[in-house]
Amino acid sequence: MQKNCLKLKKLNIRYKIKSMRKNDILWAPWRMGYILKFKNKGCFLCEEIKLPKSKFIVYKGNFSFIILNIFPYNNGHLMIAPMRHIKNLEELEDKEFIEITNLMKNSIKILKKILNPDGFNIGLNIGKISGAGLEDHIHIHIVPRWSGDTNFMPVISNTKVIPQSLNELSKILKKEFKKDFKNVHC
């Protein structure tokens, strides 16, 4: 019986996806603050990395850094970027690529320990057409996900619920990264 219910649910989901209309799209209006704030104001990643002490950079490596997204899709939304202001993935030097890959691995380990998510979305948006809000400084998004983390709040009330302040999470993450890495500079 339970197996049949799962098959029916899968069929129903496939049907819903195939029959999606324009009105069925769920929008993320809380992201407009991000889009409008940084439009034509330079590179916020480069500006943040210049600060002697950043609230939101949780780790600085030799060639790259990890920063909390201040307009997160979810609690713990991190971005990993090279220190150099480069646009394309193929412009990364091997040493940058290796460090960024290691930072992704360690970020996931730390986020699992601290936030216990059910999964992650990890990705790059290269070029405006792909959704890149910041086109000229390549960065990787790591977004923790939980079962049921997308609900009615953003759709009905234009409100995204993030259960933890960025300042609080930043302090916790900095502490964890210090345990994992010896050369923490932030």
The domain that contains 36 carries what CATH number? 3.30.428.10
Q: What is the pLDDT of residue 77?
A: 94
**What is the model's pTM?**
0.70
Lowest-pLDDT range of 1-5, 103-107, 139-143, 177-181: 1-5
Pair 81, 45: CB distance under 8 Å? yes
Answer whether residue 15 is part of any domain. no
Answer whether residue 110 is part of any domain. yes
The pLDDT of residue 7 is above 90: no
Distance CA 186, CA 183 (A): 9
Answer whether residue 42 is part of any domain. yes
- Residue 139 falls in the annotated catalytic set: yes
Answer whether residue 3 is part of any domain. no
Distance CA 67, CA 49 (A): 9
Q: In this predicted model, what pLDDT tens digit does every residue of 73-87 receive, in sequence order?
A: 889 999 999 999 999
Residues of the domain holding 165: 30-180
Q: What is the pLDDT of residue 155?
A: 52
Answer whether residue 17 is part of any domain. no
Instruction: Report CA Rg, the chain.
Output: 19
Answer whether residue 36 is part of any domain. yes
The catalytic residue among 77, 139, 141, 185 is: 139
Answer whether residue 1 is part of any domain. no
Q: What is the pLDDT of residue 20?
A: 46
Cβ atoms within 10 Å, residue 13: 10
Q: What is the mean pLDDT of the chain?
A: 79
Element (H, E) at 69: none
Domain count, the chain: 1
Answer whether residue 19 is part of any domain. no
